[in-house]
């Protein structure tokens, strides 16, 4: 039986343009995979509320992964298979993999203060600040603040690589993970995009009764676990036309020829094939 293809994609800087948040340059491939009935699984540092906006825009009704693998959200009646370990939430079955947001906030302050590295997170900001910082609308900023499993922040003064690695080790002792994303740093539990993607891949295989091939697309270090977990990985170019050197130091993905959604479009065409 032919393998079933699954596409797991990051949003910011990958499917969405880094500056405009547009997916216009990826429309051809988006329409193609919809015609071929290939599941497109949004896998982002964005919150559940933010991802739901893009699911509506894209007319995407597949499962999704918010906040760097903090949870797996499966729409009700999507799978016939019984979902073990999932909890019932309005509209979804949810497998929670992350640490609660209040605990993340508490540990973020404790550890960074120990290293003399003040931080400013989404939990410190009001929607107006987030909107200005991310160049998004006030309404979108409100959705970005509604966090459950990931604190997004930046350092108020420059932090060198040695200190950063020491902080990462300190967070690890607390069962937490500090990663660098496209725009910000993120503090999460020991969850990541890759672990969440593996859970969904297994569910699709049980449901279809055939082997699934996972395609992963990303642009930055917080996408590394996703790229490592997928059968075929693609790294798209950053706005300056470069590829993330930290990702390339740890994995050898396919390099998509294009920035953000342009590269995404070409990568998906390469895998799926134009009609």
Residues classed as catalytic: 10
- Could you give the CA distance from residue 145 to residue 46 in angstroms, rounded to a whole number? 10
- What residues contact 67, with CB distance under 8 A and at least 6 apart? 44, 45, 46, 47, 48, 98, 147, 148, 149, 150, 188
According to the 3-state scheme, what is the secondary structure of the chain? CCCEEEEEECCECCCECCCCCCCHHHHHHHHHHHHCCCCEEEECCCCHHHHHHHHHHHCCCCCEECCCCCEEEEECCCCCCCCCCCEEECCEEEEECCCCHHHHHHHHHHHHHHCCCCEEECCCCCHHHHHHHHCCCHHHHHHHHCCCCCEEEEECCCCCHHHHHHHHHHHHHCCCEEEECCCCEEEECCCCHHHHHHHHHHHHHHHHCCCEEEEEEECCHHHHHHHHHCCEEEEEECCCCCCCHHHHCCCCCEEEEEEHHHHHHHHHHHHHCCC
């Amino acid at each position: 039986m032919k393998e079933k293809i699954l596409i797991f994609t990051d949003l910011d800087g990958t499917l969405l343009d880094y500056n405009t948040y547009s997916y216009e340059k990826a429309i051809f491939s988006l329409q193609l995979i919809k015609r071929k009935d290939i599941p497109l699984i949004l896998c982002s540092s964005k919150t559940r509320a933010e991802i739901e906006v893009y699911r509506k825009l894209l007319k995407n009704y597949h499962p999704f992964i918010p906040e760097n693998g903090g949870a797996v959200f499966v729409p009700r009646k999507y799978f016939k298979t019984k979902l073990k370990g999932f909890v019932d939430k309005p509209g979804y079955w949810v497998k929670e993999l992350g640490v609660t947001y209040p605990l993340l906030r508490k540990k973020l302050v404790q550890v960074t203060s120990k290293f003399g590295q003040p931080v400013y997170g989404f939990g410190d900001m009001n929607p107006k600040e987030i909107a200005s910082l991310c160049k998004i609308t006030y309404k979108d900023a409100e959705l970005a603040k509604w966090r459950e499993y990931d604190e997004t922040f930046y350092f108020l003064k420059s932090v060198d690589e040695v200190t950063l690695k020491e902080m990462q080790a300190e967070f690890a002792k607390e069962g937490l993970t500090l990663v660098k994303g496209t725009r910000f740093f993120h503090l999460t539990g020991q969850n990541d995009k890759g672990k969440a993607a593996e859970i969904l891949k297994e569910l699709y295989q049980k449901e279809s009764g055939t082997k699934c091939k996972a395609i992963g697309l990303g642009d930055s270090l917080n996408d590394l676990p996703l790229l490592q977990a997928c059968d075929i990985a693609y790294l798209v170019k950053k706005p300056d036309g470069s590829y993330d050197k930290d990702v390339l130091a740890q994995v050898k993905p396919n390099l998509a020829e294009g920035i953000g959604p342009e590269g995404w479009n070409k990568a998906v065409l390469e895998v799926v094939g134009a009609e």
